[in-house]
Structure 1
Amino acid sequence: MPKKVVPEAARRRRKPTKLGVVLSEQLIVETALRLLQQPSREGLTVRRLGAALGADPSSLYRYFRGADDLTLAIADALIGRAMRGWRGTGDWRSDLRELGVRIYSAYLAHPQAAVLTASRVSGRAHEIAADEAILGVLRSAGLPDPEVVRVYHAFIDQTLAFAALDAAGLALPHSARAADEAVWQATYARLPAETHPHIAATAPLLVAHMNDSAYPVALDMLLDNAAATLARTRRAAGGSGAGSGGDGARAE
């Protein structure tokens, strides 16, 4: 006889743990994010998470199929934090820029979690809602669907790639991060023009900018490209070529 399927709600633990909390998927994810912020040689383990919740580690499998399922839930939670309270304004460029900054900032607020999850595709509710919002912004601008997908692909991959890169730097021990940042002044700024003329010529600018994230610049470059594509599309369709929010000046 087939084994009876127990509804998901019935599998949830209602009895408080040793710490007096009632387990839920949200509580487990929030606790995991907190633990990831704390230095530990163990990293995030089911044993460590169970201890933090005052629960037997095996009880966590009532909520997640395994450690990877928890990782995907953490990824979705970060996207959910990014999207919290977001409302479109109707200015596609402004809206898309805000979405990029929100997602990037949400990951940077949790560097260890960002390193763990930025490359993952969860297919969960918050991720789907974010994708729907981004695609909606691009389609509302008037881009043809092939261009919508091209820009969306570059936009989300660029945002998450910068989030992972910059989060990895923040996740380093302070001494290692400080040593890396000092290299521009201690090494690059001292290279002689006779052997490294291009580095020597730009050294003051390298020192001033290379320890900052390039994400805002890269994001504006991507938006410039999207605005130019939109202007070309409108010209081809017999439109004026002027983009929303002053895009025409940028696109020409």
Structure 2
Amino acid sequence: MSGSGRSQRGRLDRRVIVDALLELARTDPRSRITFKRLGEALGVDATAMYRHFRNKDDLTRAALDVLAGAAARDAAAAPGGWRDRLEAYLLRVAELSLEHPSIGAEGAVIDPVGPGDVAADEFILTELSAGGLAGDALIRAYAAISGFALAQSAALAQEVMARADAARDGSIPWISTFGAVDLSPFPLVSAHRDRLLAISGIEVYRAGAEAILDSIERAAAAEASRV
């Protein structure tokens, strides 16, 4: 690794550094990335990172921007109609967050603010417009999709970071245990206990995405009926 990194000394730039960060996040998913580790991977002194990024948040922002753009680009190529492509986008956001958990976990608190993120916004607005939404209804639907994707994909990544034995497929239980709580005062929780404990994080994500898209589809149909 260090040998290939040294060959990059002469062409070290922002994208080379971001690509190295994403590769480290993918291959070592439960480790927090530092400039020192990144410098070692690239075969350069850690201080070289500061010539391109102000701090680690700035670097993480750039990495999140790359992932946002990748999710939008992949989803745009998905077959089907506007709903199919939005569903593909939501699932791809989760997949990329789980693939790079130390980066994805930051997605709910660090705003990428870059061309990839803007491309994702444009993609969402384009597909919602294709579904027939406009004006306030369009912006509300955008907010629901964008907010859900960022928060829930970050939560899935956080779970991977927190558990050494976790698979990166969203299979961690949403509710791991009810502990020693007496469930008798909670008849519905008690009746559905086993099924609740069987729900995985990705199932929760998919259910939320489906509910949002169902709601958007109804809003689009209502808009069409008023035309």
* TM-score range relative to shorter protein: 0.7 to 0.9
Question: Over aligned residues, Cα RMSD in angstroms?
Answer: 2.9
Cα separation, partners in 2 of 1:168 and 1:23, compared to 1, 3 Å: same
Cα separation, partners in 2 of 1:146 and 1:203, compared to 1, 3 Å: same
> What displacement does 1:59 show?
2.0
User: CA-to-partner distance for each residue in 1:213-238, whole Å, 9 max, x for gaps?
Assistant: 4011111111111111111112222x
Cα separation, partners in 2 of 1:195 and 1:206, compared to 1, 3 Å: same
Counterparts of 1:85-164 in structure 2 under 5 Å? 85=74, 86-87=76-77, 89=79, 91-164=81-154
Work out which structure has the larger RCO, using CA pairs closer than 8 Å and 6 or more positions apart in sequence.
Answer: 2
> What displacement does 1:66 show?
3.0
The letter of the residue matching 1:198 is: L
> What displacement does 1:176 show?
8.9
What residue in structure 2 maps to residue 25 of structure 1? 14
Which is further off, 88-97 or 134-143?
88-97
What residue in structure 2 maps to residue 36 of structure 1? 25
Cα separation, partners in 2 of 1:228 and 1:124, compared to 1, 3 Å: same
Cα separation, partners in 2 of 1:78 and 1:118, compared to 1, 3 Å: farther
Conserved 8 A contact 1:184-1:206: no
Task: Report sequence identity in percent.
Answer: 29
Distance 1:183 1:139 in 2: 36
TM-score computed with the length of structure 1 as normaliser: 0.74
Counterpart selection for 2:206 from 207, 210, 216: 216
Cα separation, partners in 2 of 1:17 and 1:56, compared to 1, 3 Å: farther
* Structure 2 residue runs without a partner (length 5+): none
Distance 2:177 2:163 in 1: 20
TM-score computed with the length of structure 2 as normaliser: 0.82
Cα separation, partners in 2 of 1:164 and 1:138, compared to 1, 3 Å: same
Conserved 8 A contact 2:68-2:93: yes
For the pair 1:171 / 2:161, whether they are aligned, the reply is yes
User: CA-to-partner distance for each residue in 1:20-53, whole Å, 9 max, x for gaps?
Assistant: 224232221122223335344xx32222222221
* Greater Cα radius of gyration, structure 1 or 2: 1
Aligned pair count reads 216
Cα separation, partners in 2 of 1:204 and 1:92, compared to 1, 3 Å: same
Which is further off, 82-91 or 201-210?
82-91
Cα separation, partners in 2 of 1:67 and 1:196, compared to 1, 3 Å: closer
